Amino acid sequence: MDSHGIEEVPKQGDVATGTTILACEYRDGVVLVADSRTSTGSYVANRVSDKIVKLTDNIYACRSGSAADTQAVCDYAKRFLSDYAIQKGRPARVSTAAHVLSSIVYNNKDNLSVGLIVAGVDDVDGPQVYSIPLGGTLVRQPLAVGGSGSVFIYAMGDADYTPDMDKDAAVAFGRRLVSHAMARDGSSGGVIRSVVLTGDGAERGFVPGSELPFSLEGMADGLAKAVEEVAEHRAAGPSSSSSSAGAAAAAAVASRG
């Protein structure tokens, strides 16, 4: 995006993490989730990249935008936070890391294509999630989504997110949203990676492409099965009404998620 607010299209040779990233606060910590596709134009350069970067032991970031830009910015912030911890004699707070990254992106907004979500846990403010979109704005949010696939899941996130979820529910929530975005967004795909951060440290997770919570292929299979069940229901006898057939179809689809 240039100084006039016009979104710039990456050059054909640029490697971009046109992507879906998500982070949310839950009862005991934060969860970060991302897809794994990076692309150069219409060519998928990497199907299994890792877009969740460790900044410190208690702070991680999700990357979207230019792969080179996001890697450089996160590497710089990681070094800064390491030096900060040595000088201060204590780990940096999550808000400190978020402000450092926001400052870098804002001061270089005309030259960088970087969107980040920073999440972590500290002893002062507990679980925290910060969104840093293109341009360097810094916003704390309990649920943050970013990347090209985010437009497909905002409403689902608003409807289903609750801050009192436990770890398993939060991880399932994040993976479900990202899998829906991957099904609809051509720039998102591959596998799903996740990181859970609590006061006890980080726990990484992985979902292969063949086991995604949602896929268009799975939905198509469910609809085909539902059509078969409706046909069987109608063939069972002339007394079967269209409303009961519709109910059978709805139940069949619902049973398949």
Catalytic residues: 19
The residue among 28, 33, 34 whose CA lies nearest residue 167 is 28
Find out whether 132 and 116 touch, Cβ atoms under 8 Å.
yes
Q: Which residues of 171-201 are buried (b: 16+ CB within 10 A; e: fewer)?
A: bebbbbbbbbbbbebebbbbbbbbbbbbeee
CB proximity list for 152: less than 8 A, separation 6 or greater: 180, 181, 184, 185
CA distances from 39 to 30, 48, 140 (A): 28, 11, 29
E strands present in the chain:
15-16, 21-25, 30-34, 38-40, 43-46, 52-56, 59-65, 114-122, 126-132, 139-140, 143-146, 192-198, 201-207
* Tokens (6 digits) for 212: 């995604």
